[in-house]
Amino acid sequence: MRPRACAIITNHVTRRVLFIHRWREGYEYYVLPGGKVEAGETPVEACVREAREETGLEITPGPQVASFPNEGRMEFYFLTASFSGELQLGFPEHTRQGSENIYRLEWVPARRLPEINLVPERIRPFVIQSLDD
């Protein structure tokens, strides 16, 4: 399985983090924008591309804050130094929408970070810390 790269996109002014809020076959959870590292890409390049594809935002990547195996593949997580653009759900997520498969971009306030069903769970402390950096 190809590695996965994800962006921790934060708005320090409003103290919020951007997630993809998912409902899939009755299961509700949150994930960070990200996806597979393509052949010839570095994880940071994949992070930038996936953020653009999934959120419509152009990001400037910051430091890598975590990497670990998850479900048989390596995952890499990067802070975002800055972002610009218009927030909009991208491809292929918007084409996969259905009554049993829902994607919604959502800015989650810091106070709610401990309570959301975050997948994978072990990224939570890094996400919370990202608002303090």
pLDDT of residue 10: 97
pLDDT in tens, 33-83: 999 999 999 999 999 999 999 999 999 999 999 999 999 999 999 999 999
What is the number of structural domains in the chain?
1
| Tokens representing residue 103 in the block | 């994607």
Q: Which of 115, 128, 124 is nearest to 31 (CA)?
A: 124
Instruction: Summarize pLDDT for 1-42 with one digit per residue, the tens.
Output: 899 999 999 999 999 999 999 999 899 999 999 999 999 999
pTM of the model: 0.95
- 72 versus 100: which is more confidently predicted? 72
- Could you tell me the two tokens for 17? 């983090």
pLDDT tens by residue, 110-124: 999 999 999 999 999
Contact at 8 Å (CB) between 68 and 43? no
| CATH code assigned at 98 | 3.90.79.10
- Domain limits for position 42: 4-130
What does the CA dihedral 89, 91, 94, 98 come to, rounded to 10 degrees? Answer: -140
- Helix intervals (H) in the chain: 43-55, 124-130
Find, among 5, 11, 9, the residue nearest to 20 by Cα.
9
Cis preceding-peptide flag for 69 (omega within 30 of 0):
no
In the prediction, which pLDDT does 91 show?
A: 74
Alpha-carbon torsion 10, 83, 48, 80, what sign?
Answer: negative
pLDDT score of 133 more than 70: no
pLDDT at 132: 85
